Amino acid sequence: MPHGTRASSIVRALRAYAVDAVAALHCASLKSGAVLDPPVRTSLLTAYARRRGDACAALALLDEAAHPDVILWNATLDALTRSCRLGDAMVLLRRMACVLGAFDSATLVIMLSGASRAREMDLGMAHHAAAVKRRLDTDLNLQNALVDMYTKCGRFCATEAVFWRMPCWDTTSWNSMIGGSTFNGLFEVSACYFREMIRFMVQADEVTLSSVLAASSRADGLFSFGRSVHGYVVKLGYDDTASCSVANSLITFYSELGFTEDAWNVFAGILSKTLVSWNAMIKGLVDNEKVSEALFVFQEMISGYQPDRATLVTVISGCAEQGLLCEGKAIHGYIVRNGLLHESSSVGNSLLGFYMKCDDPFTANLLFRTMPIRDLISWNTMLSGYSRVVSLGVEGQAMFKELLSEGLKCTLTTILAVLSSCSCPEDLSFGKGVHSVILKYGFASAVSVVNALMHMYICWGDTLAALALLERIMLVSDIISWNTAIVGCVQNGLHGDALEAFRFMHSSLPLNPDSITLVSVLSACGTLKLHSLGKSIHCMSLKHLLACNLRVKNALLTMYFRFADTESAESIFYSPGDINLCSWNCMISGFAQNNDGWRALQFYQKIEDFVPDEMCTVSIICACTQLGDLRYGKSIHGHVVRSDLQNNFFSASLVDMYGKCGRLDVAARVFESSAEKSVACWNSMISALGFHGHGL
């Protein structure tokens, strides 16, 4: 083959061939001598840059050239920027300026693209200044690159300034603005730029339509606009093109807004569905909790398409969320039969998470031991699954030790997963060992890890150790840190310390209390009978708009009843906001504890939309005891028997009620019928006998 023909053949091959063929074509060009031709050398450089990102090979080719031209220099710069070697690219750019004495707009476009990928704002601005200085900023491609760079670096104001100074725009310019608005979370702005694009009569392409549909799906109030874009898509004929990209975007648009029927209509209308189309439809159904329909689509898909990782991970996660063990096992079988478990670890990790969520740790462990590809995510998935079940904490701890013995480096997820399994006093030794590992790997400054350590020490009753940990991260502590400390103090009976911690947090740190904080400090105020402080915290809850929070509301009810301030408690109960069975229980037990049995009975009779539970029933039995109302007490006893609520707790209350209402015989029968007599039950019976003069 003549040299010129051979060179042109290699150039055509390099433009069309895949990654693995580039090195072979390079060898062929060396053997034939075609590598000496500038077009071949440039094509090789471009191939290494775009198909391999192989900057070393590109630099070697540049150095071999006797007199490289601008195109060859630019191709080498492209290889460096695509490999994220911006420092080396800058060195090469300076060398290029020294050798050639100049560079063109294409050079700056390449450098701006590199700055955009790396989010290097300062470097991008330097290239912008160079373009202005050399009067290259009028080039449309360069202006589009500037728009893209400022957008990706989060400087949308600068993006708009560049865009509106441009003398003319093409479709790429508008696409950069529409996509850039969406990238920066300015979804309404994206819609406005699309309208402007249409007004300027610029033809939208698939990229435009996909970008504006993505923006419409993420903003409230843009559904109607998205529907109008759908009409525009149909008008332009993009709803069923070969790439299906716009149709796929429509499926995602409708799915993300919950309109799965509309998504299905778009999907059904695609004549040549791609794998992305099937994945978009399956994901949309799973995200909308229609897992059965997603599995039906998956069954249709596998009859003609080979699912990829995204498909399998989506359907497995759907089965995990719905607890569909049999269906998930069937998908596992399909994966094994088709050898898809060997392709990547993500599929195996999804299966591990599925079995753990479906309470089948045995199968998860079996899969883990036989997985062909296992990474740290696999270990973390197993550890997280074990940590969710208290009874499997020992298995989780053993797996953590095995992970360390294999020399794998822990991540933050690993540490957090294993710490949650150290909540029992029996785990003291292991938990301290984990604390040592945290110090060894340098996680001691991570707030989330310190919060988990604090919770661990509090579960062991070592509040001082937890507070010492909090003191070390004082400046970077968050509300979770302080909630952990305050709740821990309350749980361990250190109510005064809980209030001191709250005072310090509120007065010295820029942190606002949340519902968890207020529930704990209100409980501490009620226990310590600090009426004035409790009212102050009530005012704080109103200020932070937390008084209507159901948990805070119930905590306020409990606190005021402990103060014997029944009037304030009743006003809170009837204040705007939701109430639940716990709210009714607070009112009934609160009145009973304050010896106002009549009001407790009145509230019990008013309960609507809820079935009284054990706490409510015991409280009303106590109210009947106070009132000596045997008739109503008997009806409550009947409710206990009918509802099968009988236990030692009820027995003690019923024995006490019958004894104090003059029916010692019935009290004795209730006592005798108790299957397992608790200390409280014995005490109630002894008290009843003494009350009726049978002390001996």
* Rounded Cα–Cα distance for residues 72 and 21 (Å): 21
Residue 13 has pLDDT above 60, yes or no: no
- Tell me: the pLDDT tens digits for 505-514? 999 999 999 9
Q: State residue 536's pLDDT score.
A: 95
3-state secondary structure 615-629: HHHHHHHHHHHHHCC
- The pLDDT of 586-593, averaged and rounded, is 92
Q: Return the CATH architecture of domain 170-268.
A: Alpha Horseshoe (1.25)
Q: What is the mean pLDDT of residues 583-593?
A: 92
Residue whose tokens read 């909090």:
470
221 backbone dihedrals φ, ψ, rounded to 5°: 90, 0
Q: What's the confidence (pLDDT) of residue 14? A: 44
Nearest to 106 by CA among 82, 129, 83, 72: 72
Using alpha carbons, select from 402, 363, 384, 318 the residue that is nearest to residue 371: 363
CA distance linking residue 395 with residue 423, whole number of Å: 14
pLDDT band at 244 (very low <50, low <70, confident <90, very high): confident
Alpha-carbon distances of 259 from 190, 271, 284, rounded to whole Å: 22, 21, 9
Contact between 22 and 51 under an 8 Å Cβ cutoff? The reply is yes
Average pLDDT of the residues of the chain: 86
Give the tokens for residue 297: 């689509």
What are the extents of the domains in the chain? 1-103, 120-168, 170-268, 273-374, 383-443
Predicted pLDDT of residue 28: 63
147 pLDDT higher than 80: yes
Q: Is residue 176 over pLDDT 80?
A: yes
Residue among 565, 626, 558, 568 nearest 597 (CA): 626
Q: Is the pLDDT of residue 655 over 70?
A: yes
Query: How would DSSP label each residue in 50-64?
Result: III--HHHHHHHHHH
Greater model confidence, 86 or 333: 333
Structure confidence at residue 40 as a pLDDT band (50, 70, 90): low
Return the number of other C-beta atoms located less than 10 Å from residue 644's C-beta: 7
Q: Given this model, what pLDDT does residue 381 score?
A: 93
* pLDDT value of position 529: 94
In this predicted structure, what is the pLDDT of residue 103?
82
What is the separation, in whole angstroms, between the first and last Cα of the chain? 122
For residue 457, how many C-alpha atoms fall within 13 Å in the half-sphere facing its CB? Answer: 21
pLDDT higher for 28 or 5?
28
- Report whether pLDDT(51) > 90: no
CB 335 within 8 A of CB 347: yes
CB 208 within 8 A of CB 197: yes
- Picking from 49, 55, 42, the residue whose alpha carbon sits closest to that of residue 19 is 49
The answer to whether 213 and 248 are in contact (CB under 8 A) is: no
DSSP letter for 203, please: P
Task: Report, as an integer, the average pLDDT of 551-572.
Answer: 94
Give the residue with greater pLDDT, 438 vs 654.
Answer: 438
Report the pLDDT value the prediction gives residue 288, as an integer from 0 to 100. Answer: 94
Q: Which residues contact 28 (CB under 8 A, 6 or more apart)?
A: 10, 34
Phi-psi category of 595—alpha, beta or left, where left has phi over 0 and alpha has psi -120 to 50? left
Lowest mean pLDDT among 71-75, 89-93, 308-312, 517-521: 71-75
> So what's the pLDDT on residue 324?
94
- At 164, list the tokens: 């509106």
Of 448-457, 497-506, 641-650, the least confident: 641-650
Residue 48: per-residue pLDDT: 63
Question: What's the whole-number mean pLDDT along residues 143-148?
Answer: 92
* Lowest pLDDT segment from 101-110, 461-470, 485-494: 101-110
- With b for 16 or more beta-carbon neighbours within 10 A and e for fewer, the 356-376 pattern comes to bbbebbebbbebbeebeebee
pTM: 0.75
**At what angle are helices 325-337 and 291-301 packed, to 10 degrees?**
20
Q: What token pair was written down for 555?
A: 């905590």
pLDDT band at 2 (very low <50, low <70, confident <90, very high): very low
- pLDDT score of 27 more than 90: no
Percent of the chain with pLDDT over 70: 89
Position 369 confidence tier, pLDDT thresholds 50, 70, 90: very high
